[in-house]
Chain A
Amino acid sequence: MIPLSWYLLLSATLFCLGIVGFLVRRNLITIFMSIELMLNGVNLSFVTFAHQWHLVKGQIFVFFVMVVAAAEAAVGLAIIIAIFRARATLAVDRIDLMKL
């Protein structure tokens, strides 16, 4: 049997990849995908523990996360499209309207 730590290491790797992607990429779509990556990293650890302890709660949580992610994707992509329409760019460095 594959030890638990392997799963967890994979999950952590995915999560860290997501973070790094989030931080270094400029394109909004890529950033968005990085977020999904992070979520999936978390999902993986949920599933791992659920399997390990024979509890169904973790798996249910994964479904929640997936639903939220889907909703997020729908709204997020819509926003991204709106931003692209307005500014003709998806580079986050240019989108700095939050600055005072």
Chain B
Amino acid sequence: MNGPLLFLPLIPLLPFAGFLLNGLFGSRLPKALVTLIALLAPLGSLAIVAHDAYLFWSGAITFPVIEQGAPTWISVGTLHVDFGFVLDQLSLTMLLIITGVGFLIHIYSAGYMAHEKGYWRYFAYLNLFLFFMIVLVLAGNALLMFVGWEGVGLASYLLIGFWFQKTSAADAGKKAFVVNRIGDFGFLIGMFLLLANFGTLTFSEIATKIGENPGWTGGVLTCIAICLFVGAAGKSAQIPLYVWLPDAMEGPTPVSALIHAATMVTAGVYMIARSHAIFDRSPVALSVVAIIGAATALFAATMGLVQTDIKRVLAYSTISQLGYMFLGCGVMAYSAGVFHLMTHAFFKALLFLAAGSVIHGIGGEQDLRKMGGLRKKLPVTFWTMTAGVFAIAGAPFLSAFYSKDAILYAAFQQGTFGRVLWAVGLFTALLTSFYMFRLWYLAFFGKQRAPELHPHESPWSMLGPLVILALLSIGGGWIGIEKFSEWLAPAVGTHAVEAAGGIPEWAFSVIAVSMGLIGWLVAHVLYFAKPDQPAKLAGSFSVPYKVLVNKYWVDEIYNALIVKPLLMISRFLLEWVVEFAIIGGVVWLLAGIALLTGAILQKWQSGNLRSYAAWLAAGAAALLLFAGAVLLAANGVDIKWAGWK
């Protein structure tokens, strides 16, 4: 297109350049230079994104920008896939979040990882992650999105296993990759179905084709949508594939903030919003998305109630919040889902980074039971964390208040089915508020429970991003869902929202806020006013408590039902029975026949020269006789020898 330059390819390529520089030469570069390269890359991307956003704002370009004539990637037969990018309201929003929050977390990391041996390696991976994430978001077709999709999985694998000498970290990295692969399996099948039915993987072409055929509902579209959702559930840690995310907390905390809270895990939500044209036509798939989302939100929140590791509380909280976003998508409130995605990116990144600051400040301890009374020692961390806690709990006029309400409101309007989901979401909000305030009280109030720790406030390279994110967590939702929907509408479509049976919208807000208040009050009573109560409660509700502490034994169940049987079948049935007994048996049988024949014929080979000679002579004689007989019989040759009278 002729118009102002957008530099789209540069947005991902800058972090990639950062990855290459630091990855290839980082070990030999001075630390300052490594930091500079690592920080400049996302900053450059952010600048370009801002530039493009400004171009749009000033009216110089119109969305969507679909890159034409991009270099071809794969072209065989009728399959044609290129490196084409697409920039519209949706991808621009995502890009701003990714590069913006990403840049802040890069700054934070420079402080957090300052004493790490593999400093360069860390930043190389982090830049690699940004590269793939940007590719994922900008991709104009499903396969290119899959490149980013798998790529962020790779970066996540590398970063979770950053401390690879720790067995648990290496395990967690592998688990994340393999569980994600299960989701990718669904994504791949979804793409095959798309190819089979549409002959293309380009989002815009698919949307056009669907738009041209208003009669297409359900059927194969449901299959495609469900397959894509399996992929989304893997990446975004939804039931039943959420198990990798809590373990992923083995990675460095800024990684948890960037990848496992703010950006990568929201890729599933983005993917659904991006392919909304398909989901719109499949009520069944939408219901599945909504139900899974709501169920995950509730299920993860219950597990978050009793976690003692500060990062794991946040991990389950992330899963739960992602459930909200899917709930939003499932009721076709894509903009509400993406809205929550954005505010969540702010406050969850903030919470993780603040948690990281706490962990950093007390020398690597992550157990909430050993914290306490850190309010005075870590004042900046405390106040920013407070902003985050209030935001996620849905305190009025903070960011999540707007986004969560929008999702719940949209759910409520979907008939009886929607009201059940709404009630689940509401209850989850209560739980959310409870476990977040529990964390807040345990970490910052009361007395310090582990006297051997010497808390100290983190450096400003870490606190700076915290403050900015705190401001965003507070004000990130002020744009309001109406404006935001309007902004996203060209990308995700408008889905008329009707008034909910005459109930005014503010009533919903009041109910939601009161849920948050109840959660806060309960946490206040249990963890501030009467700190000995939780132990007693755990004692009197020992069965449910045990279930929650053991996370419903889901890992164990998966292990017993899938992993163990697979290995057992592979070892005993496949290796011993099929490989050794059957296939090996047949080979040995054939070899045995050969050996047996050999053993019999070997008797002939007496080693006695004269016996060989005798056989030779007999054979020659037999052959002569035979040949003679045959010749005579066949030709009736009249042998007339000269002189033979």
- Note whether A and B form a binding pair: yes
Which residues from chain A sit less than 8 Å from chain B, CB to CB? 3-5, 19, 22-24, 26, 31, 52-53, 92-93, 95-100
**Chain B residues near A100 (CB-CB < 8 A):** 602, 605, 607
* Chain A residues, CB < 8 A from B610: 22-24, 26, 92-93
**Alpha-carbon distance A100/B607, docked complex (angstroms):** 8
Choice from B602, B609, B642 contacting A4 with Cβ under 8 Å: B642
Closest-by-CB residue of B relative to A3 is B643
Q: Is the CB of B613 within 8 A of A23?
A: yes
Q: Is B617 in contact with chain A by the CB < 8 A criterion?
A: yes
* Inter-chain residue pair count (beta carbon < 8 A): 43
Q: How far is the CB of A47 from chain B (nearest CB, A)?
A: 15
Given contacts A19-B617, A92-B610, 17 further A-B pairs with CB under 8 A are A3-B644, A4-B641, A4-B644, A5-B643, A5-B644, A22-B613, A23-B613, A23-B617, A52-B643, A93-B608, A95-B609, A96-B608, A96-B609, A99-B606, A100-B602, A100-B605, A100-B607
B607 touches A96 (CB 8 A): yes
Judge whether B609 and A92 touch: CB under 8 Å: yes
Contact with B607, one of A4, A31, A53, A99 (Cβ below 8 angstroms): A99
What is the bound-complex CA distance between A31 and B606, given in angstroms? 18
Chain B residues lying within 8 Å of A23, measured Cβ to Cβ, are: 610, 613-614, 617
B642 close to A96 (CB less than 8 A): no
State A85–B241 Cα separation when bound (angstroms). Answer: 83
In the bound complex, do residue B617 and residue A92 qualify as a contact, i.e. CB atoms below 8 Å apart?
no
A-B contact pairs, 18 of them (CB 8 A): A3-B643, A3-B644, A4-B642, A4-B644, A19-B617, A23-B610, A23-B617, A24-B610, A52-B643, A53-B642, A92-B608, A92-B610, A93-B608, A95-B609, A97-B607, A99-B605, A99-B608, A100-B607
Closest 4 CB pairs of A and B: A99-B607, A96-B607, A4-B643, A92-B609
Query: Smallest Cβ distance from A87 to chain B, in angstroms?
Result: 13
In the complex the two chains form, is B607's CB within 8 Å of A98's CB? yes
List, in ascending order, chain B residues with CB within 8 A of A92's CB: 608-610
List B contacts of A93 (CB < 8 A). Answer: 608, 610
Task: Please give, as numbers and ranges, the residues of chain A lying within 8 Å of B602 by CB-CB distance.
Answer: 100
A21 to chain B, nearest CB (A): 10
- CB A61 to nearest CB in B, in angstroms, measures 19
Considering the chains assembled together, what is the distance between the CA atoms of A43 and B462 in angstroms? Answer: 108
Contact bitstring B632-645, A, C-beta under 8 A = 1, else 0: 00000000011111
Q: Roughly how many angstroms separate A3 CA and B645 CA in the complex, as a whole number?
A: 9
Q: Which of A5, A24, A31, A98 is in CB contact (< 8 Å) with B605?
A: A98
Residues from chain B with a CB closer than 8 A to the CB of A96 are 606-609
Residue-wise, chain B 390-403 has the 8 Å CB interface mask toward A (1 for contact) of: 00000000000000
Q: Which residues of A sit under 8 angstroms from B641, Cβ to Cβ?
A: 4
| A78–B128 CA distance with the chains assembled, in angstroms | 79
- C-alpha spacing A2/B411, complex, angstroms: 125
| Nearest-CB residue, chain A, relative to B612 | A98
Residue of A nearest to B645 (CB): A3
Looking at the assembled complex, report how far the CB atom of A99 sits from the nearest CB atom of chain B, in whole angstroms. 2
Residue-wise, chain B 442-471 has the 8 Å CB interface mask toward A (1 for contact) of 000000000000000000000000000000
In whole angstroms, what is the CA distance A96 to B641 when docked?
A: 45
Question: Least Cβ distance of B598 to chain A in Å?
Answer: 10
Which chain A residues lie closer than 8 Å to B606 at the CB level?
Answer: 96, 99
Q: How far is the CA of A98 from the CA of B607 in the complex (A)?
A: 5
| Interface positions of B from 570 to 611, Cβ below 8 Å from A | 602, 605-610
Residues in B with CB closer than 8 Å to A31 are 609
Inter-chain contacts of A98 with B (CB < 8 A): 605, 607
The minimal Cβ–Cβ distance linking B446 to chain A, given in whole angstroms, is 89
Tell me the complex Cα distance, A19–B447, Å: 115
Contacts of A95 in B (CB 8 A): 609
In whole angstroms, how far apart are the Cα atoms of A24 and B602 in the complex? 23
A98 to B613 CA separation, bound complex (whole angstroms):
14
With A and B bound together, what is the CA distance between A99 and B614 in angstroms?
Answer: 16
Residue of A nearest to B606 (CB): A99
- Chain A residues near B643 (CB-CB < 8 A): 3-5, 52
User: How far is the CB of B605 from the nearest CB of chain A, in Å?
Assistant: 7
The CA of A5 and the CA of B643, in the complex, are separated in Å by 8
A79 to chain B, nearest CB (A): 13
In the bound assembly, the distance between CA atoms of A92 and B643 in angstroms comes to: 43
Nearest B residue to A25, CB-CB: B610
**Closest Cβ–Cβ distance, residue B461 to chain A (whole Å):** 82
Return B643 CB to nearest CB of chain A, in Å: 4
Q: How far is the CA of A3 from the CA of B642 in the complex (A)?
A: 9
How far, in angstroms, from A5 to B644 measured CA to CA in the complex? 7
Q: Which A residues are CB-close (under 8 A) to B645?
A: 3
B606 CB to nearest chain A CB (Å): 6
**Cα of A25 to Cα of B608 in the assembled complex, Å:** 12
A7 to chain B, nearest CB (A): 10
Complex: chain B residue closest to A31, CB-CB: B609
How far is it, in angstroms, between the C-alpha of A4 and the C-alpha of B645 when the chains are bound?
Answer: 10
Closest CB of chain B to A43's CB: distance in Å?
18
What's the least CB distance linking A27 to chain B, in Å? Answer: 11
Query: Of residues B610, B617, B641, B645, which shows the largest number of chain A Cβ atoms within 10 Å of its Cβ?
Result: B610
Tell me the smallest distance from the CB of A13 to a CB of chain B, in Å: 16
**A99 proximity list for chain B (CB < 8 A):** 605-608
Q: Would A52 and B605 count as touching, CB distance under 8 A?
A: no
Q: What's the least CB distance linking A68 to chain B, in Å?
A: 18
Bound-state CA distance A92–B641 (Å) is 41
What CA separation (Å) do A24 and B608 show in the bound complex? 12
Distance in angstroms from A76 CB to nearest chain B CB is 13
Query: Which residues of the other chain, B, contact A3 by a CB distance below 8 angstroms?
Result: 643-645
| Most-contacted residue by chain A among B608, B614, B644 (CB, 10 A) | B608
Complex Cα spacing A92 to B644, Å: 42
Bound complex: CA A19 to CA B643 (Å): 28
| In the complex, residue of chain A having the shortest beta-carbon distance to the beta carbon of B617 | A19
Chain B minimum-CB-distance residue to A1: B643
Measured CA separation A99–B609 after assembly (Å): 10
